[in-house]
Amino acid sequence: MNNGWFYTAEFRDGRFTQIQWQRSGQPPQTTTLTFSSTNGQGQPIYTGAFQAATAVTLVDLSGGNVQPGSQVSVEVEEWGWARGNCRR
């Protein structure tokens, strides 16, 4: 993200389940994700909250076919969007 927070999204059993947040000088944070819907492009959308208060949205840009190199787009309310690549 553009504010110093780095994230790692976990994909397990065919779904994104959580995001781990890290930032220098801050304790790690975890966002639990829940499948919300599928957008018009067939991309699964997951939602959760950062620190139980700020809305988080993850869009699986692979359309549910997650592989190394697939992309996700993550939005945190008031922070904006950031794109990431799947490593494994």
- What residues contact 69, with CB distance under 8 A and at least 6 apart? 85, 86
Q: Nearest CA to 85 among 77, 74, 75?
A: 74
At 52 the pLDDT is 87
Domain segments of the chain as ranges:
6-85
Pair of tokens at residue 68: 């190394």
Indicate whether this model's pTM tops 0.85: yes
pLDDT in tens, 16-30: 999 999 999 999 999
At 49 the pLDDT is 97
Q: Which residues of the chain have pLDDT under 70?
A: none
Alpha helices in the chain (DSSP H): none
At 78 the pLDDT is 87
At 41 the pLDDT is 96
At 59 the pLDDT is 98
User: What pairs with residue 30 in β-bridges?
Assistant: 20
